[in-house]
């Protein structure tokens, strides 16, 4: 299952059932879990650990050194979960500071030429369309969808079950359950289709729509809007997560 032209360092750990295609390069400190598939011309390097069942397409480069100019050396890592798909040309970098890690969860789909920079933290079931890019220290929650060419500023957070429109510039946090779009991105609506597909209850969807109107459409300060949401709407988990996400935002949210 390992092509004769692949170059695998003797100290690399390659799990059972892995396929390593032509001209792949696997570095000394790499661990591949069971049943990973590297199609061809894939580079996996650095202190990088992948779980089981990941699939990596040609010309992806996973785990190389950060591009951050603050890099001073040390051991930095990349941790990746299970059953992710990395399409052609994807790049993912290790963290910047000694002992730190860039982290991806499981069941994510990263399409062509997606870039994930140093120290990002991604959850599970995320879709990033072609050429979307995350600058350093970005956090992406579960089930988010980033449209093609989305560009996310460093230290931003992308909330669960949100969606960004194609070519959006994201200079602030994207609130959970919302759709944002534009340059700079602004909130357009609640992500109704995603909530329906996820089986979110009608009561929770109704409460989120009401919360959206209060936070994004009424002429209130963020603090007053959140207080009104808590006072008038049921304390459902989705509403509480939305409120807590916005309340803890350091960069502000796309409104």
Cα 163 from Cα 165, distance rounded (Å): 7
Selected catalytic residue, list 39, 93, 118, 143: 118
Name the percent of the chain in helix, strand, coil, to the closest 5. Answer: 15, 30, 55
Is residue 62 within 8 Å of 56, Cβ to Cβ? yes
Cβ distance 101 to 77 under 8 Å? Answer: yes
How far is CA 152 from each of CA 23, 105, 138, 226, rounded to the nearest angstrom? 32, 19, 8, 25
Give which of 177, 179, 175 is closest to 204, Cα–Cα. 177
Nearest in space to 120 (alpha carbons), one of 183, 164, 76, 178: 76
Identified catalytic residue from 33, 136, 147, 165: 136
72 token code pair:
């001073």
Residue for token pair 């580079």:
43
Look up residue 90 and give its two tokens: 């994807």
Active-site annotation holds for 82: no
142 is catalytic: no
**Sequence-distant (≥ 6) Cβ neighbours of residue 76 within 8 angstroms:** 46, 47, 65, 66, 94, 95, 96, 97, 98, 99, 100, 101, 118
Number of H helices, E strands in the chain: 4, 27
Q: Is 118 a catalytic residue?
A: yes
Q: Where are the alpha helices (DSSP H) in the chain?
A: 192-197, 202-212, 222-232, 237-247
List, by residue number, the catalytic residues: 118-119, 136
């Amino acid at each position: 299952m390992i092509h004769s032209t692949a170059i695998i360092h003797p100290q690399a750990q390659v799990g059972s059932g892995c396929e390593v295609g032509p001209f792949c390069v696997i570095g000394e400190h790499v661990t591949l879990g069971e049943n990973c598939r590297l199609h061809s011309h894939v580079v996996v390097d650095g202190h990088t650990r992948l779980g089981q069942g990941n699939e990596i397409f040609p010309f992806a480069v996973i785990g190389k050194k950060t591009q951050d100019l603050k890099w001073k050396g040390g051991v930095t890592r990349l941790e990746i979960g299970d059953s992710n798909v990395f399409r052609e040309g994807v790049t993912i970098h290790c963290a910047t500071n000694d002992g730190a890690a860039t982290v991806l969860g499981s069941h994510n789909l990263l399409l062509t030429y997606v870039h994930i920079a140093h120290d990002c933290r991604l959850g599970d079931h995320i879709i990033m369309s072609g050429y979307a890019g995350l600058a350093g220290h970005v956090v992406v929650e579960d089930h988010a969808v980033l449209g093609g060419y989305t560009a996310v500023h460093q230290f931003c957070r992308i909330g669960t079950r949100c969606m960004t429109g194609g070519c959006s510039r994201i200079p602030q946090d994207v609130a959970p359950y919302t759709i944002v779009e534009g340059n700079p991105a602004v909130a357009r609506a609640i992500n109704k289709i995603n909530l329906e597909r996820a089986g979110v209850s009608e009561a929770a969807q109704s409460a989120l729509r009401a919360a959206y109107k209060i936070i994004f459409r009424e002429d209130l300060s963020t603090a007053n809007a959140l207080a009104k949401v808590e006072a008038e709407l049921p304390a459902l988990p989705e509403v509480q997560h939305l409120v807590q996400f916005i309340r803890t935002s350091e960069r502000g949210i796309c409104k």
